[in-house]
Amino acid sequence: MFNRKQKRSNNQDEVQQLKQDNQRLRKELKQAKLKLILMSKEKDVLMDKVLMLTKDTPPPSSRDLQPADPPKTPKTPCTLKDCIPYLLPCKIGIFTVYSLGKIMINPNYHSTFTIYPVGYKVSRSYYSMANPFIETTYTCTIEENGSTGPLFEIVADDCPNKPIIGSSANEVWRWVIYYSHLIRKEPIPTQVNGPEFYGLTHPTIMQMIQGLPYANQCQDYLWQPSDQDKPYVFCSPPPLPGPFSFPPKPNFLPHSSVYPVEGPKDLFPTHSESILSYPSLLLHPYAK
């Protein structure tokens, strides 16, 4: 009996302690919220002061606007002291980067974690879609497709006349994975990371893209921190920015001549379906 009473008293003490801790945490949370509100108000006040100071600044007089002397010698775009220069093409991991392209100042040409520069071109190796015993090189490019967003194209070296075209990196790489596994009679992965296959999430390539002119104008993009203390700078004149909006290409259909327009969604097996339930490899568009 004594042990039971002692256990009950211990449990009551623990419950009381938990209640006290809960109340203390609530008070701390309330104080933190108040601090955030005060900091937000202080920020607004400081921004108002900055705007007032900028408005009160007098415009420069004509005497101050003296023409600058033209440089006698052309300046180099970067030095090893303030950046990491690079030249293209270059080999980065499994990718060969031929072009980083140019930033399109359009929200459809970037996402929260990825920027899609028009003119971007890389190559990499992966399983062949035509021969089950070898790997081949795939050239991945991003092209302009009006204000609706970029156009992604993949061309295999062993099937150069059968490009894969789609409106997203996931879509085009889904085709490659599907047919490369189909010809090997292997289970088809259900998860596809197109930007990763394109090299757009590679840390070095990502930092090089962030170093392009006008990359900081991608409003929805979440800037990725770098482990380098210097930015990557391309050792050539920077490209001009892409327009914010432009007319789409006429008579455009986001598919390849090999594939149906509706895309590969209904060609992919579910978890319960087997690879043997699909047509013979004689219908495989890449089978030789």
pLDDT of residue 73: 41
ω before 163 within 30° of 0 (cis)?
no
For residue 246, give every residue at least 6 positions away whose Cβ sits within 8 Å of its Cβ, in sequence order, or none: 144, 146, 147
Tokens of 137: 């090189």
pLDDT of residue 199: 93
Tens digits of pLDDT across the chain (288 residues): 656 666 677 777 888 888 888 888 888 888 887 777 777 777 776 776 666 666 555 554 544 444 444 444 443 444 444 455 567 788 888 999 999 999 988 889 999 899 999 999 999 999 999 999 999 999 999 999 888 899 999 999 998 899 999 999 999 999 999 999 999 988 888 788 899 999 999 988 988 898 888 888 888 888 887 665 555 555 444 444 444 433 333 333 333 333 333 334 433 333 333 333 333 333 455 555
pLDDT of residue 227: 63
For residue 261, give every residue at least 6 positions away whose Cβ sits within 8 Å of its Cβ, in sequence order, or none: 253, 255
Domains of the chain: 84-268 (3.30.160.360)
Would you give the DSSP letter of residue 101? Answer: E
Bridge partners for 136 per DSSP: 126
The one-letter amino acid code at 116 reads Y
pLDDT of residue 230: 52
CA of 132: how far to CAs of 107, 162, 191, 267, 287, in Å?
40, 17, 21, 20, 9
pTM of the model: 0.55
**Closest-CA residue to 187 (of 276, 284, 279, 267):** 276
pLDDT of residue 59: 54
pLDDT of residue 114: 92
Rounded Cα distance between 23 and 11, Å, is 18
Tokens of 278: 């699909």
